[in-house]
Every structure is written in C-alpha cells, then in structure tokens.
Amino acid sequence: MPSSINAIQILIVINMTEVWVIDSNCLIHIGAMAPPNFVSDLQLIIDKNSTNFFVTPGVNDEVRNVRFQRWDGKPNLLDQMSEILITISVEDQEIKQLASKIGEKSSPQDVDLSLMTLAKNMSQEGKKVTLVSDDYKMTTASDKVNLNFETCPPSTFLQRLAGYGSRGLRSRMRSLSRRVRAAEMRYAISRAGQYDIQAKLTWMVESLLTSKVQSTEESTGNQTTDERKLVSALIRAIRGEKVKKSLLNSLGKLPEICAPVCRLDDHLSSLSTDDSLENIVQKYDASAEILSEVLEKTGVELAPFGEEMAELAHRAMSGYLYRMESALGVMARMSGNLSLSRLHLSRALHLATLIDDISAEMRAMHQLGLLSLANSNWKRAANLFETSDRQAQMIGTSRLPPLILGGIARHLNSDLELAISHIKAAEPLVRMNKDQAAVELTTIGNSLLAIDCPGLAIEILDEAMECAIETSQEISLDLLAELLLLANAAILGDEKKQYDGLRQLLDGLNQIPEDSLDKFQQRIARIDEKKDELSKPLDDTWTEWQQSTRLLQDEETLTVLRIDRDDEGQELIISHHNEIGAIGIWLPKGGSKAASGNQIKIQNSRIKIVKPTDLLKEIHSIRGIVAIENPEGLSFIVKTDEITRED
C-alpha cells in the first residue's frame, strides 16, 4: 500500500501543471512596456505548454484603466488579454482566515490576500503555482505560514516565459524582462532610505538565478545591482551618511564633486520657513541663480570623468535637481508664466524617471496636467492625468485626483466614454471615505482656481460640499463657501457655456442622501444670496485720496482672479475679497508680476475707488475700481507650502 501511494505522488509531481497567479503591478508593468506582439506570444506559450495565467476580480478592478502604452491606439489591457487572463473569485471568508493566520501587522492588502488564497488553493489541487508580484511582503507572508507556492517578481516571470518559446519569442521576452527588471530595481533602491531593502533585493536576484534561462541575463542583472549599489552609496555620501570604505573607494572624488547639490535642498528649506513670500519673481530669479551655480560647478568637475562615472553622479544628484525644478515650475506658474512653468515641470518629470521615484513622477505629471488644462490642451491633460493614475496604482496612493481631472479632460475633449469610465472608477473611492473625499475634492478645486479655471472649480467644489455636509465638517463647509464665492466671482460668461454637460458627468461622483440634500440646497442658497449681494456696486466710493485701510484692514488681502491687459500695457487686476466681493485694481503703467491665486496687500499708499463702467461690470462683475497712488505699495504674495510640499 505505501508503495502505491508513493507511485501516485511521483506521478503527480511529474505531470504537475504549471500555472501563474499574477498581481496588478505585473500587469501595470506589462501595459507600460510590452511590445505589440506580446499577447500573441503569450497565446503561443499557452498552446505549446498548457500553462495558464490567473487573476482575481480585485486585480481586474485595479487595472481596468491600464492600457498598452507602446501599441497603436493604446488599447485597454484587459480587453486585449481577456482570453488569456482567467479570473477566479475567492470567498471573503477564506481571505479573512488567511489574514488571521498571517497576523494583522504582517498581512498584505485584501487584493493581495485574494491572490495568495487563490495560489494556495491551486497548489492544493496539485498544480505548480508561482505567484507573480514585486511586493516582497507577499513572499515573506507566504513563507511565514508555509503556503505551498513560489513567488517571483514580474521580471523573472517574463524571463522564465522566454524559455517556452522560439528564438524570436525568447528575444522579445528577455528584452521586456530586462526593462521591467530595471524598473523594479530602480524603484526598490529609491526606497532605500525608507526601509531595509536588502532582503527584497536578495530575493529578486535569487529568483532570477533560478530562472530556466540564465547565463547572459544573470550577469546583466548582477551588473545592474552593483551599479545600483554605487548610486545608493553616492546618495548616502552626499547626505553625509556612513558608507562602506570599499564603496567610497570605488566612488573616488564623486561625493565631493556632487556635494554642492545639497545647497538646493537648503535653499528650498529656507523658502518654507515662512508661510508666504512676497515678490515671487525675485524669489524665482534667486532660485534659478542657485541652480545655475550648482549645475555649473558640478558640470565643470565632472567634465574630465568618463561616461560611467558621470552617469552615476547624474543619477545620484537627480533627486535634488528634481525638487528644485519642481519648485521653479510652481513659482513660474505663480508668476503667470505658464510656458516657463511647463519647461521646469517637464525637466522635473525627466529627472524623476532617473531616480525612478514614482511619487515624484506622479506629482510632476499632475502639475503638467493642470498646466495643459489651463492652456485648453485637453488631450495632453488627459494623457498626463491617466499616466498619473497608473502611477498612483503602482504605489497605492489616492487615485481620486487623477481620475477626476482625467475625466474632466476627456469630457472637454469629447471623449465621453472615457470620461464616464474615469468618473465611475472614482465614485466608489468617494463613497468609501467621504471625509477624505471632501478634503481631496477641495484640494482639486483649489488647484483649478490657481490655474484660472473657476468654472471647473465650481463643479468640483459642489461635490466637495456634498461630502462635507454628509460628514458634518463645519469648518470645511465655511472654507468651501468662501471658495465657491471666489470661483463665482472669477468665472466669465463664455466659460459657463464651455462646460456644458460637465455637471451631469460629475453628479455621478457622489449620491447625496435625502436627509443631507436639504442641508446642501440651503447652503447653496445662502451662497447664491451672498453672491447676488456682492454683485451690486459698492455703496461707499470716493474720488479723493484716502488711506488704504478705509478699504482693507492692515492684515487683510485680496485674491487675484485674473489680469486684464490691453494693447498699451495697462492692467486691470481683477481681485476678490470674501466680504467686499470682486473689485478691479487699475495700474495704468502695468508691470505687475501677478497671477491667479496670488494674494494682494496694499501698504504705504493712498487709494481712490470709483464705480465701474457698465462694460467693465458686465465683463468682470466687479463692484468698483481702485486707483493706487503709489503702485510700489502693492505686494503680491504667494503661499510657500505649494512650492515645497511633497504630497
């Protein structure tokens, strides 16, 4: 009897079916890098080797908007792989049992747990199962409870698939594997300062060494790892951290040469010590000068070095340069120079790819997307926000801003199906956490006001107010009322027509219950009443010079809505005060360096205020026009948190 059992067990091992359970990060990598013949190659592998690829419904939800970026038309990944990816549901009870077995602190997210449960179940059915994920936590958790399946990162998965095909297929799969592996390594090493990545790197390399196809690719991987170690060591040396002597010897003079980049972070830190800055153009010029000095000094020192050593230096310095370029981009936007802002933010995005900091890439793309909205380039904005959304999925951060802004951009570009798809994806995120949704929607509305898109801001702020009412956020409601008043003051008549249909689209973001609907309508009614009150001409005007405190108290400011410049350079700065409403500041000589969202202080100057002409009142909805005796008494102020923040 025992011999019969052993024979059966041996037979099972020999005929064991090999299957792959794939997580969303792997599919995101594939969408970003796979060549156009990738799916047909997978089908050949399936037909020849009887292997299969499995996912869970949670994975489908996470990647439903992922597209094949290198394919013509960028088709949806799930649509193209629907006949290859087999979706298997897992019972919630099984997921909870596994989570309990692993322990709360060590347990991965629910979607990852569903994949681990699926892999465990298939393994118990006699299949040879490999779970494909670059999330090392899934490996450690499966080892902890002795689950009978293997894990490997996406690059190793692709490397192993190369062994199943013809010469051409092998070449394509190996090439894709190398690209994905480089992305994995860059991302892991970029997190070296946040957690100990040595175990994860060891696992990644070991999984590659056990691949069916080794030799050339193994040596390439090891070489890449050594190179990453040098970059990481150089970054630590620049920061003044302790570095192994052997690595310092390999780096030579590079730590000393690269040290000046620390000036950039020091300068940004000095900007953030104050809540606000006056004369943003002067601050921009000073920051650009420091960047130029650092680039010149490091460039001169690196010039005699060979390509490999110089590349190490550039990659180690790219984080510092990214932060400075991002700050310059925001400062340029705050001073009204959108084209210069785009140049800096594009450089920031390029530098972020060198450090492979997905959060940094996402922030740069978000800012570039906002600039594209400001320039009415809807398609480019949509592409940027959609790419930002894919990045958000990769690092597990909130998808709400890129989904909503991507949906708006698609709607404006008349891509209505895509617009609806983005808003439908955002709706459950709002529903699951309306407290957080209110905060994020308010931030989005503020961003749209800053780029002079008040019509778009109004629609988003309405949704934010619904969420704030449902969750009884009184302080947030007061802020939202002020923002809605400001947005209504900033919007022009023709802009309202431009956004026809957007209200209906964004209504899908939140379904407000009946008991909250009345409160919402009452709030909106009060805002409308105040808006009507603030649309009337000022009762108190004067044509004699008076102290500015008669209009504004010492610490009060006006918010710039837009600037109307005529052909002769004369300027009317349309500004808003929550209690006064919209007024124009007349500068016959022009020359202001203001932009939407700046705050205005009037100091050391007397003023006059008169009623606007009918034409100006109709165009700008202003209540009065202010003349400044001493234009130098005007200060344009910006908040520093947007320049230096990392969120």
What Rg do the C-alpha atoms of the chain give, in angstroms? 29
pLDDT score, position 1: 34
State which amino acid sits at residue 474: E
* Residue type at position 433: N
Q: Assess contact for 109 and 141: CB atoms under 8 A.
A: no
pLDDT class for 644, splitting at 50, 70, 90? low
Query: Does the 542-644 domain belong in CATH 2.60.120?
Result: no
192 vs 260, more confident: 260
**CA atoms of 282 and 287, how far apart (whole Å):** 9
3-state DSSP assignment of residue 601: strand
Query: Taking the CB of residue 179, how many other CB atoms lie within 10 A of it?
Result: 16
Q: What distances in angstroms separate CA 577 from CA 445, 559, 594, 608, one per listed residue?
A: 18, 7, 16, 17
- pTM score, two decimals? 0.60
Neighbours of 191 (CB within 10 A): 15
pLDDT at 400: 93
In this prediction, residues 54-67 reach a mean pLDDT of 91
Provide the pLDDT for residue 4: 34
Average pLDDT of 359-373? 88
Query: Contact at 8 Å (CB) between 483 and 447?
Result: no
Q: Give the Cα separation of 385 and 409 in Å (integer).
A: 9
**Higher pLDDT residue, 271 or 98?**
98
Residue 103 pLDDT > 80: no
Sequence-distant (6+) residues with CB within 8 A of 97 are none
More confident residue, 192 or 18: 18
Q: Which residues touch 56 (CB under 8 Å, ≥6 apart)?
A: 87, 88, 89, 90, 111, 114, 115, 118
Compute the average pLDDT of residues 514-538. 85
Q: How far is the C-alpha of 277 from the C-alpha of 639, rounded, in Å?
A: 6
Task: Please give the angle made by the CA atoms of 55, 56 and 62, to the nearest 5 degrees.
Answer: 95
Q: Whole-angstrom Cα distance, residue 625 to residue 611?
A: 6
Per-residue pLDDT band for 101 (boundaries 50, 70, 90) equals confident
Q: Is the pLDDT of residue 144 over 80?
A: no
Whether 559 and 490 have beta carbons less than 8 Å apart is answered as no
- The amino acid that residue 359 corresponds to is S
Lowest mean pLDDT among 349-358, 423-432, 499-508: 349-358
Q: Structural domain boundaries of the chain?
A: 12-223, 252-353, 542-644
How confident is the model at residue 223, as a pLDDT? Answer: 47
Sheet with 581-587: strands ordered across: 276-278, 634-639, 599-602, 558-565, 571-577, 581-587, 625-628, 606-610, 542-547
pLDDT above 60 for 212: no
Q: What is residue 417's predicted lDDT score, i.e. its pLDDT? A: 84
> 305-317, pLDDT tens digit by residue?
888 888 889 999 9
Residue 412 scores a pLDDT above 50: yes
pLDDT reported for residue 436: 92
Give the residue among 590, 586, 537, 544 at the shortest CA–CA distance from 567: 590
* Res. 493 pLDDT band, cuts 50 70 90: low
**How much is the pLDDT for 292?**
95
Handedness of CA 146, 115, 186, 263 (dihedral sign): negative
Helix (H, G, I), strand (E, B) or coil at 87: strand
Q: Residue 214 above 80 pLDDT? A: no
225's tokens: 């790892």
Lowest mean pLDDT among 127-136, 180-189, 505-514: 180-189
In the chain the first and final C-alpha atoms are separated, in Å, by 65
Q: Which residue has the tokens 């320039």?
A: 375
> Which tokens is 161 given?
């698939």
Q: What is the chain's mean pLDDT, rounded? A: 83
Checking if the pLDDT of 72 tops 60, the result is: yes
Q: Are 460 and 506 in contact (CB under 8 A)?
A: yes
Best-predicted range by mean pLDDT among 60-64, 181-185, 306-310, 483-487? 60-64
Q: Rounded distance, CA 85 to CA 114, Å?
A: 16
DSSP three-state, residue 19: strand
Cβ atoms within 10 Å of 93's Cβ, excluding its own:
9
Q: What is the pLDDT of residue 162?
A: 86
Q: Report residue 135 as tokens.
A: 């999330």
> What's the whole-number mean pLDDT along residues 338-345?
89
HSE-CB for 146 with a 13 A CA cutoff:
0
Q: What is the pLDDT of residue 222?
A: 46
- For residues 72 and 36, is the Cβ–Cβ distance under 8 A? yes
Write phi, then psi, for 399 (nearest 5 degrees): -95, -5
For residue range 280-301, list pLDDT tens digits in order: 888 889 999 999 999 999 999 9
Give me the percent of the chain exceeding a pLDDT of 90: 23
Question: DSSP labels for 247-314?
Answer: HHHHHTTHHHHHGGGHHHHHHHHHHTTSSEEE-HHHHHHHHHHHHHHHHHHHHHHHTTS-HHHHHHHH
The CATH architecture to which 12-223 belongs is: 3-Layer(aba) Sandwich (3.40)
